[in-house]
A and B are shown apart, each in its own frame.
Chain A
Amino acid sequence: MVLLFLAAAVLFAGVLTILYRGQWPFGPGAEAPRKAVVIFKTIDYTNTPFWGNVREGVISAARDFSIDVSVRGTTSESDIAGQVDIVRKAMEEKPDAIVLAAADYNILVPLAHEIRRRGILLVCVDSFIHSDDANVRVGTDSYEGGQKCGAAVMRYVRPGDTVAVMSYVKGSSTAIDRESGARDFLKDKVSLLGTLYSDSDADKAYVQAARLIAETPALRGIVALNDPTARGAARALAESGKTDSIALVGFDNSFPVLKFVERGIIRDTVVQNPFNMGYLGIRAVRELLNGKKPQPFINTGSIDISKENMFLPENQKLLFLFPAAVDR
Chain B
Amino acid sequence: MKIRRIQNSLIRAFAALIVFTIVLLGALSYYFLQKTLIQNAEATTMQLVSQLNRVIENYIGYMDDIALMAVNNEDVRAFMRSPANDSPSLRAKISSSFDVIRSVRKDIDSVFLITRDGRAIAATQRSGLNPSVGLTDRFKELEIGVAPGGASISSAHVENLVDDRYAWVISLVRDMRAAPAGGSVGLIQVDLNYEVIASLCRNIQLGSSGYVFIVNRNGEIVYHPRQQLLYGNLKSERISDILALHGGNLSTVVDGRGILYTSVSSPETGWTVVAVSYLDELFGMIREAEYWFLMLSLLAFVSAIGVAYFISTNISHPIESLRRAMQSVESGNFDIDITVSASNEVYQLARDCDIAVKKVRDLIAQNVREQELKRKLELQTLQAQINPHFLYNTLDSIIWMIELGEYERAIDMTSSLARFFRLGVNRGAETISVKTEIEYLETYLAIQKQRYKDKLSYEVSFSPDLYDRQILKLLLQPLVENAIYHGIKNKEGPGLIRITGERRDATMIIRVSDNGVGMEPTQLGALTNGQIEPSRTSGVGVRNVQERIRLYFGPDYGLQFESTPGAGTVATLRIPAIGGDVN
Contact = CB atoms under 8 A, between A and B. Distances in A.
B89 interface: no
A9 B227 contact: no
B164 interface: yes
A276 B313 CA distance: 70
A13 B195 contact: no
Contacts of A264: 132
Given A12-B302, A24-B291, A276 B232 contact: yes
Contacts of A262: 130, 132, 160
Interface string B216-232: 00001000011111011
B342 interface: no
Contacts of B130: 262
A66 B271 CA distance: 31
B304 to A, nearest CB: 10
Given A263-B132, A322-B168, A5 B228 contact: no
Contacts of B198: 322, 324-325
A9 B231 contact: no
Contacts of B525: none
Interface string A27-51: 1110000000000000000000000
Contacts of A276: 228-229, 232, 234
A275 B305 CA distance: 60
A56 B229 CA distance: 11
A9 B194 CA distance: 60
- Chain B contact-residue range equals 35 or more
B306 A6 contact: yes
Chain A CB within 10 A, most for which of B209, B229, B232: B232
Given A27-B287, A29-B284, A60 B166 contact: no
Interface in A116-159: none
A162 to B, nearest CB: 28
B160 A311 contact: yes
Nearest to B292: A20
B82 to A, nearest CB: 31
Given A20-B291, A276-B232, A60 B306 contact: no
B505 interface: no
Contact of A320 (B168, B229, B231): B168
A316 interface: yes
B168 to A, nearest CB: 6
A60 B226 contact: yes
Determine which residue in A307, A319, A325 has the highest number of CB atoms from chain B within 10 A of its CB, and name it: A325
Interface in B307-335: 307, 309-310, 313
Interface string A255-296: 100110011100000000101100110000000000000000
B377 to A, nearest CB: 61
Given A24-B288, A263-B132, A324-B195, 9 more contacts: A5-B302, A16-B298, A24-B287, A28-B280, A262-B132, A307-B132, A322-B194, A322-B195, A325-B198
Interface of A: 1-2, 5-6, 8-10, 12-13, 16-17, 20, 24, 27-29, 56-57, 60, 63-64, 255, 258-259, 262-264, 273, 275-276, 279-280, 307, 311, 313-314, 316-320, 322-325, 328
